[in-house]
Amino acid sequence: MHDGIPDLDMPADEQVHLAAESFRLLCDPTRIKILWALLQGESSVSCLAELVGAAPTAVSQHLAKLRLAGLVSGRREGTFVYYTAASDHVRGLLAEALGHAEGAERATAR
């Protein structure tokens, strides 16, 4: 059926699953705000809560999910945990998504 597409290269099932899981976790506006804030630098739960306008308990729950997905990492300093985006791949992913949203918004405003 796809013989006419030379060098067709499909991603592995595990890779597709992990990508879908990352997108699933990013479908929440608060998580996108948290990640964007963490791309600016390391932050604590209380600071992130203030930045994104959410309760610290809610931010902690979001961070736990993002950490399990490998999108954020944390380091403990005394009783505090400071979080950061796990890699520059997160920056690229968010920049693309936000750029796409901006373009879509402009297209619908016409």
Buried b (16+ CB within 10 A) or exposed e, 66-104: beebebbebeeeeeeebbbbbeeebeebbeeeeeeeeee
Q: What is the pLDDT of residue 4?
A: 67
Instruction: Look at residue 3 and tell me whether its pLDDT is greater than 70.
Output: no
Q: Contact at 8 Å (CB) between 75 and 43?
A: no
Question: pLDDT of 45-72, one tens digit each?
Answer: 999 999 999 999 999 999 999 998 889 9
CATH of 15-109, one of 3.20.20.370, 1.10.10.10, 3.30.1360.230, 3.40.50.720: 1.10.10.10
Burial class (CB in 10 A: 0-12, 13-18, 19+), 105: exposed
29-40 helix and 45-52 helix, angle to the nearest 10 degrees: 120
Question: pLDDT of 17-44, one tens digit each?
Answer: 988 888 888 889 999 999 999 999 999 9
CA–CA separation, 9 and 60 (whole Å):
39
Amino acid at 32: I
Amino acid at 70: G
Is the pTM above the cut of 0.75?
A: yes
